[in-house]
C-alpha cells in the first residue's frame, strides 16, 4: 500500500480581539472568555469565564460547572490541533435554557527566523522520511522520546553567511519517503541577507522608541532594554519580522520595532563618537551630568543600591575625557566617574547622596548627552508632595472583564477616586490621568506624569490571568516595578495590601509595563486583585472593599516615605 505524505509548516497565530459583553446584556448565559464565538489560537488550552443568573446551572458538553454565589463560572478548555467545538447550556430556576456554541481553532505558532549566524527550522510530516530545507540542507527526525511521543518532527540548521544571496527567499521544506514519493511546503517567513560591505544606518523616531533584548514576546511585548529619544543613530544589522536588529557593540545586539526607525542613505557611516569633556552642575530642582559627544549614540541605563548609583552605558563611544568639572551647585550627586568597559562601550557611574533614587532622565541637547538627577524632596510629608494617579483602561478599553461581565476600568476608577480623596485629606496635591470613562493613550499617561513634575506615580489596575490558564487557580494582590530603585515603594504598598486578607500573589520586579518604564519619578503598578477569579471579583464589586484598598495604598506610601527619610 502506498503511503500518502503529509507536511505541516508553522503558520502565524491570530491576535485575539478585545471587546467584552456588559453584564446587563447577558440574559441567562454570558460568556466573557472566549470573547468571540470563533477563536484562533496557538495554545494548548484556553480560558473559560462567564456567568449565569444566581441560582442557575451551566453545563459544558453535558458536564455541570461549579457556579459561584455571583453566578460566575470559570475553567480551562483543553485544545487539540485543529478545530475544537464546545457547547455551553445554561438552565434557570424555572427550567428555561440558553445554549451557546464555541469554536476554537488551534494553529501552530509562527517561528521567528532571522538572517544571522545560525538559521534553525522545524516542520512536522510523515515519520520515516528523508527531509531537507532551502536548497537541500539536511534535516533530522527528532526521536519521539524528545517530543512527548509525537513522531514526524524534523529539525535542521545551517550557518548563514554574507555569500548567501537570499533576497526575500522562501523557505521550502521537502519530504521523500522510501518509495520515492515527494511532498513540499513553504513556510510563511522569507529570508534576506544584508551586505556586510555597505552598512545600514537608521535614526530613531516617534514617541519613546525602545530597544528590546531579543525576539521574545508576550501580551506586554518583548522585554525592553532601554527607552530612547528621537534622533539617535543606530547600526542596523538584520531584520526578523517587523523587528530590526541593532548592533550596539562587539558581541552586543538589540531589537527595535521598524516603525521607530527612519533609514539614512546607503553608505552612511555607522554611529561612533569620542566622549569629550564632562560638566556636572545643578539648578533649583535637579543635578545634571553633561557629556560632550560628536554623535547621538544609543544608551542603556540601570540603577544600583547600597550605595545608590545610576549607571549609563554608551554604545559606540570611546573615552577621550581628560577632566570632569563638578560645580558646587550640585546637591544630590556625590561622585561621577567613567570606565571603558568594552570595545566602544563607555559606562557612566553617578553616585548619589541619598539611599532612595527619586528619578532621572537621559536626553540630548544637540550633540551633548545630558543626564538629569532629581533631588530628594525637602519634605517627605504628604502635604508637600504631588501624586499622579492612573486608573487603568477606560472608554472602549475595558481591561479585564469579570465573569459577571463587570469591566475592570470601572473598578479602577472608583478605587482611584477613593485614593484621591484620602491623599487630599492629608494635604497632598493629586493629578489624575483620567477622571471619566475615557480612553487615554498610554504614552499620554506617561507624558502627563513626567511633565507634571510629580513626586510619585501610582497606577491602579485589577488583574487577570491570560487566556491559556485556569482562572480558578490564580488569585490575590500584587504590586509591580520595573526599575530596582523603585522597589521599596512597591514593597511597602504590597505589605499593606496583604492586610486586607487577599492572597499574596507577589511583589514583581522588572515588569515590562509602559507605566512602569519611566525613570523620571518613583512609580508603581498596583494590581488590587484578580477580576478573573470569581471570589476576588466578588470582593472588588464591594465599594467598601475598594475604599479599604485605597486606605492600604496610602499607608504603604507613608511607610515608604518614612523609610526614605530615615
Pair 365, 393 in one domain: no
Pair 368, 516 in one domain: no
Pair 558, 414 in one domain: yes
- Does any domain span residue 96? yes
- Site of grid cell 485575539: 16
Residue 28 burial (CB count, 10 A): 18
For position 350, which CATH number holds? 2.60.40.3500
Residues 6+ apart with CB under 8 A from 402: 32, 49, 72, 408, 531, 532, 534, 537, 540, 541
Query: Count of domains in the chain?
Result: 5
Pair 532, 415 in one domain: yes
> How far is the C-alpha of 473 from the C-alpha of 511, rounded, in Å?
22
Contact between 255 and 233 under an 8 Å Cβ cutoff? The reply is no
- Does any domain span residue 4? no
Contact between 274 and 338 under an 8 Å Cβ cutoff? The reply is no
**Domain end residue (candidates: 374, 397, 416):** 374
Contact between 61 and 49 under an 8 Å Cβ cutoff? The reply is no
Domain residues for the domain of 99 are: 23-106
Q: What pLDDT does residue 197 have?
A: 60
Q: What pLDDT does residue 429 have?
A: 98
- Does any domain span residue 17? no
Nearest 5°: phi and psi at 44?
-85, -5
Please report, rounded to a whole number, the percentage of residues in the chain having pLDDT higher than 70: 92
> How far is the C-alpha of 301 from the C-alpha of 297, rounded, in Å?
13
CA angle 81, 87, 92 (to 5 degrees): 155
Sign (positive/negative) of CA torsion 256, 259, 261, 264? positive
Whether the link from the prior residue into 34 is cis, omega within 30° of 0, is yes
Beta bridge partner(s), residue 362: 371
Which triple of cell numbers denotes residue 277? 569633556
Pair 411, 535 in one domain: yes
Region 187-209: mean pLDDT is: 79
User: What is the reported pTM?
Assistant: 0.79
- Site of grid cell 543626564: 371
- Does any domain span residue 206? yes
Asked whether the predicted pLDDT for residue 463 surpasses 50, the reply is yes
Pair 124, 100 in one domain: no
For position 475, which CATH number holds? 3.40.630.40
Residues 6+ apart with CB under 8 A from 28: 52, 53, 56, 90, 92, 96, 97, 98
Q: What is the pLDDT of residues 206-228, one digit of tens each?
A: 999 999 998 877 777 888 999 99
Pair 370, 418 in one domain: no
Q: What is the pLDDT of residues 396-420, one digit of tens each?
A: 999 999 999 999 999 999 999 999 9
> How far is the C-alpha of 132 from the C-alpha of 113, rounded, in Å?
17
Pair 126, 206 in one domain: no
CA dihedral 540, 541, 544, 546 (to 10 degrees): 40
Pair 390, 521 in one domain: yes
For position 88, which CATH number holds? 2.60.40.10
For position 214, which CATH number holds? 2.30.30.40
For position 182, which CATH number holds? 2.60.40
Contact between 362 and 373 under an 8 Å Cβ cutoff? The reply is no
Asked whether the predicted pLDDT for residue 534 surpasses 70, the reply is yes
**Domain end residue (candidates: 240, 263, 286):** 263
Asked whether the predicted pLDDT for residue 439 surpasses 50, the reply is yes
Contact between 315 and 251 under an 8 Å Cβ cutoff? The reply is no
Asked whether the predicted pLDDT for residue 561 surpasses 60, the reply is yes
**Domain end residue (candidates: 243, 263, 283):** 263
Q: What pLDDT does residue 108 have?
A: 56
Region 529-549: mean pLDDT is: 97
> How far is the C-alpha of 333 from the C-alpha of 327, rounded, in Å?
10
- Does any domain span residue 11? no
- Does any domain span residue 1? no
Pair 523, 389 in one domain: yes
Contact between 306 and 261 under an 8 Å Cβ cutoff? The reply is no
Asked whether the predicted pLDDT for residue 436 surpasses 50, the reply is yes
Within a 13 Å sphere around the CA of 304, how many CA atoms are in the beta-carbon half? 11
Sign (positive/negative) of CA torsion 289, 523, 246, 253? positive
Region 308-337: mean pLDDT is: 95
- Does any domain span residue 524? yes
Which triple of cell numbers denotes residue 475? 488569585
Q: What pLDDT does residue 198 have?
A: 67
- Does any domain span residue 2? no
pLDDT range class, residue 12, cuts 50, 70, 90: very low
Pair 446, 554 in one domain: yes
Determine the angle formed by the axes of helices 543-565 and 408-425, rounding to 10 degrees.
Answer: 50
Pair 522, 420 in one domain: yes
E strand or H helix that includes residue 559: helix 543-565
Amino acid at each position: 500500500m502506498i503511503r500518502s505524505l503529509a507536511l505541516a509548516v508553522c503558520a502565524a497565530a491570530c491576535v485575539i480581539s478585545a471587546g467584552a459583553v456588559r453584564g446587563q446584556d447577558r440574559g441567562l448565559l454570558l460568556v466573557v472568555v472566549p470573547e468571540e464565538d470563533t477563536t484562533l489560537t496557538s495554545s494548548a488550552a484556553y480560558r473559560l469565564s462567564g456567568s449565569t443568573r444566581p441560582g442557575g446551572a451551566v453545563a459544558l458538553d453535558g458536564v455541570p460547572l461549579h457556579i459561584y454565589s455571583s453566578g460566575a463560572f470559570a475553567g480551562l478548555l483543553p485544545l487539540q490541533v485543529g478545530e475544537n467545538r464546545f457547547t455551553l447550556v445554561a438552565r434557570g430556576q424555572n427550567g428555561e435554557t440558553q445554549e451557546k456554541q464555541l469554536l476554537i481553532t488551534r494553529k501552530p505558532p509562527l517561528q521567528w527566523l532571522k538572517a544571522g549566524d545560525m538559521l534553525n527550522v522545524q516542520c512536522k510530516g510523515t515519520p520515516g522520511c528523508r527531509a531537507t530545507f532551502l536548497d537541500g540542507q539536511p534535516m533530522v527526525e527528532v526521536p519521539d522520546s524528545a517530543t512527548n511521543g509525537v513522531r514526524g518532527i524534523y529539525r535542521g540548521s545551517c550557518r548563514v553567511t554574507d555569500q548567501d544571496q537570499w533576497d526575500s527567499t522562501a523557505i521550502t521544506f521537502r519530504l521523500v519517503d522510501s518509495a520515492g514519493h515527494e511532498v513540499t511546503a513553504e513556510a510563511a517567513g522569507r529570508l534576506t541577507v544584508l551586505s556586510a560591505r555597505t552598512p545600514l544606518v537608521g535614526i530613531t523616531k516617534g514617541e519613546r522608541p525602545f530597544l528590546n533584548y531579543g525576539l521574545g514576546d508576550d501580551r506586554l511585548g518583548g522585554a525592553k532594554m532601554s527607552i530612547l529619544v528621537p534622533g539617535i543613530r543606530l547600526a542596523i544589522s538584520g531584520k526578523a519580522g517587523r523587528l530590526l536588529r541593532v548592533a550596539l557593540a562587539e558581541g552586543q545586539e538589540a531589537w527595535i520595532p521598524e516603525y521607530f526607525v527612519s533609514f539614512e542613505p546607503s553608505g552612511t557611516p555607522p554611529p561612533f563618537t569620542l566622549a569629550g569633556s564632562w560638566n556636572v552642575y545643578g539648578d533649583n530642582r535637579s543635578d545634571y551630568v553633561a557629556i560632550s559627544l560628536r554623535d547621538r549614540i544609543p544608551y542603556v541605563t540601570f540603577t544600583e543600591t547600597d550605595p545608590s548609583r545610576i549607571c549609563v552605558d554608551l554604545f559606540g563611544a570611546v573615552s577621550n575625557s581628560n577632566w570632569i568639572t563638578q560645580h558646587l551647585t550640585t546637591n544630590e550627586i556625590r561622585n561621577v566617574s567613567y570606565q571603558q568597559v568594552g570595545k566602544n562601550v563607555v559606562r557612566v557611574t553617578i553616585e548619589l547622596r541619598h539611599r532612595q533614587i527619586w528619578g532621572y532622565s537621559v536626553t540630548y541637547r544637540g550633540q551633548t548627552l545630558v543626564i538629569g538627577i532629581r533631588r530628594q524632596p525637602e519634605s517627605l510629608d504628604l502635604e508637600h508632595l504631588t501624586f499622579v494617579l492612573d486608573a487603568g483602561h477606560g472608554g472602549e478599553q475595558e481591561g479585564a472583564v469579570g465573569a459577571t461581565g463587570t469591566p475592570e476600568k470601572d473598578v479602577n476608577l472608583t478605587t482611584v477616586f477613593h485614593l484621591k480623596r484620602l491623599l487630599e485629606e492629608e494635604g497632598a496635591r493629586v493629578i489624575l490621568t483620567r477622571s471619566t470613562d475615557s480612553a487615554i493613550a498610554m504614552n499620554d499617561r506617561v507624558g502627563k506624569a513626567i511633565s507634571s513634575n510629580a513626586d510619585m506615580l501610582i497606577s491602579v489596575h485589577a488583574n487577570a490571568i491570560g487566556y491559556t490558564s485556569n482562572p480558578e487557580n490564580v488569585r490575590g494582590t500584587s504590586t509591580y516595578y520595573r526599575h530596582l530603585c523603585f522597589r521599596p515603594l512597591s514593597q511597602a504598598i504590597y505589605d499593606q495590601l496583604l492586610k486586607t486578607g487577599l492572597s499574596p500573589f507577589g511583589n514583581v520586579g522588572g515588569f515590562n509595563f509602559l507605566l512602569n518604564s519611566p525613570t523620571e519619578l518613583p512609580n508603581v503598578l498596583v494590581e488590587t486583585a484578580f477580576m478573573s477569579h470569581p471570589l476576588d471579583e466578588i470582593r472588588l464589586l464591594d465599594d467598601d472593599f475598594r475604599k479599604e484598598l485605597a486606605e492600604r495604598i496610602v499607608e504603604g506610601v507613608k511607610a515608604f516615605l518614612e523609610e526614605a527619610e530615615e
